[in-house]
A and B are shown apart, each in its own frame.
Chain A
Amino acid sequence: MTNTGQVKVANSVNRAKGLPGLVEDWSSDQRAFKNVSWRKAMMWIFLLSDTFIFSIFLLSYMTSRMSTKVGWPNASEVFSLHIGHTNFPLLLIAIMTFVLISSSGTMVLAVNYGYRKDRKLTAIMLLVTALLGATFVGMQVFEWSKLISEGVRPWSNPMGAPQFGGIFFMITGFHGTHVSIGVIFLLVMAQKVWRGDYDTQKLGFFTSRKGDYECVEIMGLYWHFVDLVWVFIFAFFYLW
């Protein structure tokens, strides 16, 4: 203990050795991200780990598709919609893409109004974002049930390579789960903002910590990440 005090005074010379040194080096006040709060840094680190998860999903998709002898189903046909007498390729997926991009836009507005302390507009924008997110998930449910009714299973499908189903359900399922979790958090945050928790410094019910409008920005990072992942899924799974 006395040693710790010494080290803090003479910062560069008397560093503790061995295990105490290890603990000290990792716990002392050294920061890599100078102007970023711990919350934001942690969100970025979480997003980085999530990047690896989705990367590895897409990578396993690439590996299965490249190494199968059976032809890969044509996504353009599998995900087409018949409206009247015309056949629109990928129509539902295109609409889902636009819904998600719209929600990213409203999220950015929520962050901006949050920093302007415009409580009502922030809450409304968060609600709109959640609504668009829920719409996205709803359309995904429609897409899943359509494919399941056509006989697509994780282990087989009538259109081609049997890996198609497994890859499809895993990747879009994981992404849909992320969107759903995001919607729940958006609703919780909208309620907090509406109530004025970030103005009155009310403690969070789960974290027991005071929040401020930076929380909206951090929520935004997560939401934009979900949109970002969809950009890659759209390109590699649906368009390729």
Chain B
Amino acid sequence: MIGFNKSHKGQDNAREMPADGHQAHPLKVYFIVWVWLFILSACSYMVDFMSFQGYLRWTLILFFMIVKAGLILAFFMHIKWERLSLTYAVLLPPIAVFVFVAIMAVESNYTVFTRFNFFDGG
């Protein structure tokens, strides 16, 4: 335990972080991001309020979602200022999820096809 603490302190000096070696950034950045998150949330709510439908609705929902998630990750969670080794370790593995989504989309289409064809009217 003690040895671990020591190494932790040693590595503190070797940090390449701004200022005192921590994720301290000017408040202005956070306020701008904060305001944008409010605006984008309002926008995504308006998508429902104006009852847009079809591809327009889905595109807008996804767009606002990705921008919001990106802002939170990049600024609030400091990914923008971290080294690439951490960024990639965090952001690359979820790609596997997209593969899973594709597989399950195909599978669901097949399931609903069988349900309509073999479970309707006995």
The reply to whether the CB of B93 lies closer than 8 angstroms to some CB of chain A is: yes
Contact with A along B49-84 (1 / 0, CB 8 A): 101000001100110110011001100111000110
Q: State the CA gap A160–B90 with chains docked (Å).
A: 38
B93 touches A104 (CB 8 A): no
Q: State the CA gap A68–B17 with chains docked (Å).
A: 51
A residues in contact with B97, CB < 8 Å: 51-52, 55-56, 59
For residues 170 through 229 of chain A, which have their beta carbon under 8 Å from a beta carbon of chain B?
209-210, 213-214, 217, 220-221, 224-225, 227-228
B100 touches A38 (CB 8 A): no
B41 touches A105 (CB 8 A): no
Q: Please give the distance in Å from B5's CB to the nearest CB on chain A.
A: 7
B residues in contact with A68, CB < 8 Å: 112
Which stretch, A12-20, A90-98, A134-142, A148-156, touches the partner chain B? A90-98
Q: How large is the interface on A (under 10, 10 to 19, 20 to 34, 35 or more residues)?
A: 35 or more
Q: Please give the distance in Å from B2's CB to the nearest CB on chain A.
A: 11
Q: Please give the distance in Å from B65's CB to the nearest CB on chain A.
A: 4
A residues in contact with B78, CB < 8 Å: 217
A67 touches B34 (CB 8 A): no
Q: State the CA gap A97–B48 with chains docked (Å).
A: 14
B residues in contact with A104, CB < 8 Å: 34, 37, 72, 76
Main secondary structure, interface of A, reads helix
A116 touches B65 (CB 8 A): no
Q: Tell me which of A29, A116, A214, A221 contacts B7 (CB under 8 A).
A: A29
The reply to whether the CB of A72 lies closer than 8 angstroms to some CB of chain B is: no
Residue on A nearest B115 in the bound complex, by CB:
A69
Q: Please give the distance in Å from B52's CB to the nearest CB on chain A.
A: 10
Residue on B nearest A105 in the bound complex, by CB:
B34
Q: State the CA gap A221–B86 with chains docked (Å).
A: 14
Residue on B nearest A88 in the bound complex, by CB:
B49
Q: Please give the distance in Å from A87's CB to the nearest CB on chain B.
A: 11
B77 touches A225 (CB 8 A): yes
Contact with A along B93-107 (1 / 0, CB 8 A): 110010011001101
Q: State the CA gap A238–B44 with chains docked (Å).
A: 11
A41 touches B104 (CB 8 A): no
Assuming A109-B30, A115-B20, is B115 touching A232 (CB within 8 A)? no
Q: State the CA gap A209–B8 with chains docked (Å).
A: 12
Contact residues of B with A, CB < 8 Å? 1, 4-5, 7-8, 11-12, 14-17, 19-20, 22-25, 27, 30-31, 34, 37-38, 41, 44-45, 47-49, 51, 57-58, 61-62, 64-65, 68-69, 72-73, 76-78, 82-83, 85-86, 89-90, 93-94, 97, 100-101, 104-105, 107-109, 111-112, 115-116, 119-120
Q: Which 5 A-B pairs have the closest CB atoms?
A: A66-B108, A67-B111, A235-B65, A67-B108, A115-B24
